[in-house]
Structure 1
Amino acid sequence: MLGNLLRFRQGAIAIQGDIEAMFMQIGVRQKDRRYLRFTWKQPNSQELEVFENQRHIFGVRDSPACANFVSQQTAKDDIEDHPNSLEITQRTFYMDDMVSTFIDTIDTIHYSPGCQGYSEKSFYDPLGIISPFLIRAKIPLQELWRHGYEWDKAISGDNGKAIKDWVEETELLGTVGVNRLVGGTGLGDIMELHVFCDASLEATAAVAYIKTTSNQGTTIRFLMGKTRVASLRQTTIPRLELQAALYAARLKKTIEVERDFKFDKIFLRSDSTTVLSWIKNLKLKHKMYTRNRIAEIRDITSNNQWTYVNSKDNPADHGTRGLKVTEMTEKSLWLQVPQFRLFYKDNSSTDEQQQENVFLNSAEQKTQVTRRQPIDKDLIHASG
């Protein structure tokens, strides 16, 4: 589902389709029909009749798996006559629903004859468009869980008011939206992926944007975001910031795998100089918790992709603090993506680079921390 939605935002021309009555179009083998028997009684009759379904039906546990297998097998069997059918089936369908995009009308006609349009509205948010809004409900719910609230106990106090206000705001969600099209549509376009991360004692967040430069100019679009409540276990801010950096690295990997276009440049940004030093300094020794996460980050990103971002310029900060619906549609960094300077530089400024390098010389680490405090609120936890 997530991959389908990411690819759905690639091309200028969008298509949505649906396989009509998908389950009912797939037959059941004769010997298996006895497992789909049901009884029926005619009106004004006491006699029960036994019938067998000859088609797969909604509600049976294996029907979705059988339907997916049949659709992909049909595409494989027909691959000589329609070479693109298997790729379309595997990359654009989620069960019986198809979403796809194309660069021009020629591709559209070639790939998708006979599709019938449809639309669907849901509160399900796999792209994280309203994540800063949703986190405002998750945080007080976690607080209730922490205090042992039963599911049928009335909620009162600050948590009760926070949840009540949040529920009332859901009526305004129809005003929140993003551009479907992100990324370039021309062969000469330059595309950059920018991923930001942040953490607080209550939540962690990562959010990604695509910057596209073409002969028409430069555009920056929200791609996707993720927020999570922090662990119930007490931990330090540096560890939470490291977890946020790991989420950013995983987000970057997911986007690279699911998108059809390659990025010319990739940037990952954190406002924690401590975390940046952990990632970049290969000589530092860490405890297992820190070591394992740094190892995964290094495995799926490179050191030169990580740069510093000032906290006030970090859109992921909104994912950890939460936003009202009205804030998301007006001045939020999360969706509005202001054209601030970080999107127009290949590297951090000299001052920011100095902040990143505070800990990079492990031999002078302690003297640097003493001399340059306060650089980061987390310096006291620099040992991991």
Structure 2
Amino acid sequence: MFAAELIACENTLKGIKNKGLSLMIIDKISWRMPSVWRPGWRTLVDDTLHVKEKDLSLAHLVSYVLKVRVKGQNDVVLTNAFFDTGSTCSFISEALMQRLNATGHETNLNIRTISNVTEQRKSSVIDDIELSHFDESNFIALGQLFSNKCIDIDVSNIPTQKDVDQFHEFKDVVIPRLNQEVGLLIGKDNFALHKPLEIVHGPDEYFACALCKMCTEVVDSIQNEKPEFSPNREIFMERVNKSIHLTTDGHYEIDLPFKNPNVILPKNKSHAEQRLEYLRRRFLKEPDFYNEYKSFVKDMIDNGYAEKVNNSGECDGKTWYLSHHGVRHPEKKSLCVVFDCSAKFSGLCLNDVLLQGPDLANNLVGVLARFRKQSVAIQGDIRAMFHQVKVSEPHRDFLTFLWWRNGDVSQPVVCFSILFGTICSPSCANFALKRTAEDNKEDFSESTVNAVYDAFYVDDFLDSIPNAEEAIDHVKNVKNLVSKGGFEITKWVSNDRAVLLSIPEEHRAKDVKGLDLSVDDLPVEKALGMIWDVEQDTLCFHVKRKDKPATKRGLLSTINSIFDPLCFGQPVLQPMKVLIQDLCRKKFDWDDPIPPELKKEWLKWFSDLPKLKNFNVPRCYTPKDFGKIIDIKLHHFSDASEKSYGAVSYIRITNTYGQVHCAIISGKTRLVPLNGSTIPRLKLCAATIPAKNDAFLKKELKLPISASYFWTDSTTVL
């Protein structure tokens, strides 16, 4: 039928998609069609479709509108798509064709209307159109599309965020805003796109269903690229950008980014009191634990990370009481008090009603790659970064916690409020740090501002500078810039003693304090999880061998205990990953003992594992006193076997004397699929890794790279 034959939908269509989620508010099932067809439509149902109304199930009748990305031969555009299981064909509007510069050959299309009248119309057949979710970049090809003047769906029926926020059952649904007409109608000729993966029921007849993904394969690349756009990101950024402001004490304040700004929370004080009573009983049994806990909370209050609440009453659902408990760091053994924003009461927790926000942190591999560029390395850490960004005063009651007066469990309980510490804290803290650079960029050099943008991974600062003199100025300038937003960088480390001497001792790293820098060796530090031998200026591995059972779980735990983001150790680790995959292929359970022949291989590997500590890679790409660099090239190598495939990237540097030096940058490995593949195909898969890595490295290194070379021994790839 015209406009997708007979369109089945709710009385008021409210369909929306958020990361594969469609929300449909069903008051009653009815037929929707162009207004000229409405008179007498009920009497035509049986004659036209030969079905009774009672036979019409929800699965067959539901239609919905989603925000999508559409890709033609040259362009990618955003539009609304009407997904309709009642249509035998898929259609594209002429307006969308023009936006995509899409053309096709003409054909005669027979259209059967609701009156059972067949009309013949001219239509263009469009091929090579691809579709993806609104906030994804992986496309799937659509079948043939037929052109039509327009897709007759009223955009006023598309829901808004306000429609969704009234139901906490759909707390994860965010409505992307898109001021576009409906440009596509996806019929049952693309039926795989209609298949629901999950249905979530709300109150009464409201429900949400998760749709199938638009792509059949997700390629995980070394750069872990973030989506170009997502509706969650847009709403979060809009709300945070609108509310952020610098207070008189030099710190940024931000409103809590609620999914629904008018959120009403249940009264959960009784739950927090129960948890506090449990703590009190534990304190009486464990005095040492109590003293550490009390000291931690006292430090929070003394440092201004928490404040006493004068009005402790619960009013109008705008107060939430946070439970808290102690967690001991597995390596440092120090106690940390954790405020549990995920503790549920009446099926709801504080994190449920907050937008998590986008990942605004820099890429970890990118930060490490830049950390290796120059000869003088510097590293620091922002003190209590999340606590330096405060929540605005009207929202502080949502972060209330109970504690005894003066920490004395015999005293009355009073209310305090932490100034941050929710699911959105990482995004808000990173936003405030970058906002500091933006607000003060006119007062500092470009290199200093760029360092704040590029050299931080959350609260860790890693950078490299050509010489000690510049590094001393750089440390001073970066410290001054971030202090404008209330941040303080401490725990400074450098491989240059002159730089360390310029930093007050109280601001140096713990293992550097008290050293006689003219005599003592510099310590071994962690650099974003990697081991940095500061004295030798090398990156190496820390192997802490723990006996684990010879099971699939034990093997995986041992392998994952070795952090290797740059994949220097993959030649050692990859054979055991292959072994674990072999166990998966043979259907071994997680705790089943592995066969004797595999156990022998495992034990030999495990006994040799400490040798990995002897392997190291120079931190800096260039040797000391290499001189002025006049040319930089990248060389990428890839290969594959029947068990795994991978690639490695090198930087090739030439100085003014014509001397050449090569250094490894990073690598990447993959296991073959469980069902196997052909060697030529795996060689092609291996070749895709350096192709993506080359673009990533050029973007992250920010070096004048003159050329890139890709090496393979496969004629298929060539």
Q: Is the TM value for this pair above 0.5? A: yes
Q: Between Structure 1 and Structure 2, how many residues are aligned?
A: 273
Q: What does residue 74 of structure 1 align with?
A: 436
Q: What does residue 605 of structure 2 align with?
A: 166
1:228 aligned counterpart, secondary structure: strand
Task: Go from structure 1 to structure 2 and tell me whether the alpha carbon gap of 1:76 and 1:176 turns closer, same or farther (over 3 Å shift).
Answer: same
Provide Cα deviations, 1:125-169, integer angstroms capped at 9, x if missing partner.
Answer: 111111111212211111111122222222233333333333333
2:394 aligned with 1:31, yes or no? yes
Contact 1:191 1:212 in 2 (8 A): yes
Q: What does residue 251 of structure 1 align with?
A: 693
Task: Go from structure 1 to structure 2 and tell me whether the alpha carbon gap of 1:46 and 1:15 turns closer, same or farther (over 3 Å shift).
Answer: closer
Distance 1:17 1:46 in 2: 41
2:617 aligned with 1:182, yes or no? no
Distance 2:666 2:694 in 1: 10
Contact 1:183 1:211 in 2 (8 A): no
2:462 aligned with 1:20, yes or no? no
The amino acid across from 2:592 in the alignment is K
Unpaired segments of 5 or more residues in structure 1? 277-384
Distance 1:102 1:183 in 2: 12
Distance 2:640 2:619 in 1: 28
Q: What does residue 468 of structure 2 align with?
A: 105
1:112 aligned counterpart, secondary structure: helix
**1:4 Cα deviation from its structure 2 partner:** 0.6
2:584 paired residue among 134, 145, 154 = 145
Task: Go from structure 1 to structure 2 and tell me whether the alpha carbon gap of 1:164 and 1:90 turns closer, same or farther (over 3 Å shift).
Answer: farther
Contact 2:376 2:464 in 1 (8 A): yes
Distance 1:153 1:246 in 2: 36
**1:236 Cα deviation from its structure 2 partner:** 0.6
Q: What does residue 209 of structure 1 align with?
A: 650
Q: What does residue 233 of structure 1 align with?
A: 675
**1:173 Cα deviation from its structure 2 partner:** 2.2
1:56 paired residue among 413, 420, 423 = 420
Distance 1:160 1:48 in 2: 57
The amino acid across from 2:677 in the alignment is T
Contact 1:72 1:86 in 2 (8 A): no
Distance 1:170 1:50 in 2: 52
Matches within 5 A, 1:1-384: 1-41=364-404, 42-45=407-410, 47-53=412-418, 55-57=419-421, 60-84=422-446, 85-113=448-476, 116-117=492-493, 118=509, 119-120=525-526, 121-122=529-530, 123-183=562-622, 187-215=628-656, 217-276=659-718
Distance 2:704 2:675 in 1: 39
Contact 1:23 1:56 in 2 (8 A): yes
The amino acid across from 1:218 in the alignment is V
Distance 1:189 1:152 in 2: 56
Contact 2:629 2:653 in 1 (8 A): no
Unpaired segments of 5 or more residues in structure 2? 1-363, 480-488, 494-508, 510-524, 531-561
The amino acid across from 1:153 in the alignment is D
Distance 1:145 1:78 in 2: 54
- Cα RMSD (Å) of the superposition? 2.1
Higher relative contact order (CA 8 A, sep 6+): 1
Contact 2:437 2:453 in 1 (8 A): no
Task: Go from structure 1 to structure 2 and tell me whether the alpha carbon gap of 1:43 and 1:152 turns closer, same or farther (over 3 Å shift).
Answer: farther
**1:50 Cα deviation from its structure 2 partner:** 2.5
1:71 aligned counterpart, secondary structure: helix
Distance 1:240 1:2 in 2: 25
The amino acid across from 1:169 in the alignment is D
Provide Cα deviations, 1:305-355, integer angstroms capped at 9, x if missing partner.
Answer: xxxxxxxxxxxxxxxxxxxxxxxxxxxxxxxxxxxxxxxxxxxxxxxxxxx
**1:44 Cα deviation from its structure 2 partner:** 4.7
Distance 1:267 1:49 in 2: 66
Contact 2:628 2:655 in 1 (8 A): no
Q: What does residue 289 of structure 1 align with?
A: none
Distance 1:141 1:188 in 2: 45
**1:16 Cα deviation from its structure 2 partner:** 0.9
Task: Go from structure 1 to structure 2 and tell me whether the alpha carbon gap of 1:29 and 1:162 turns closer, same or farther (over 3 Å shift).
Answer: farther
Provide Cα deviations, 1:86-116, integer angstroms capped at 9, x if missing partner.
Answer: 3112211000101111123343234321562
Distance 1:260 1:46 in 2: 59
Distance 1:125 1:257 in 2: 21
2:670 aligned counterpart, secondary structure: strand
2:610 aligned counterpart, secondary structure: helix
Task: Go from structure 1 to structure 2 and tell me whether the alpha carbon gap of 1:31 and 1:187 turns closer, same or farther (over 3 Å shift).
Answer: same
Distance 1:252 1:147 in 2: 37
Distance 2:409 2:676 in 1: 67
2:646 aligned counterpart, secondary structure: strand
Distance 1:67 1:253 in 2: 29
Distance 2:463 2:618 in 1: 15
**1:195 Cα deviation from its structure 2 partner:** 0.6
**Structure 1 or 2: more helix by fraction:** 1
Contact 1:206 1:251 in 2 (8 A): no
**1:70 Cα deviation from its structure 2 partner:** 0.9
1:274 aligned counterpart, secondary structure: coil
**1:46 Cα deviation from its structure 2 partner:** 7.4
Contact 1:183 1:210 in 2 (8 A): no
Contact 1:136 1:166 in 2 (8 A): no
**1:80 Cα deviation from its structure 2 partner:** 1.3
Distance 2:467 2:620 in 1: 13
Task: Go from structure 1 to structure 2 and tell me whether the alpha carbon gap of 1:37 and 1:213 turns closer, same or farther (over 3 Å shift).
Answer: same
The amino acid across from 2:389 in the alignment is I
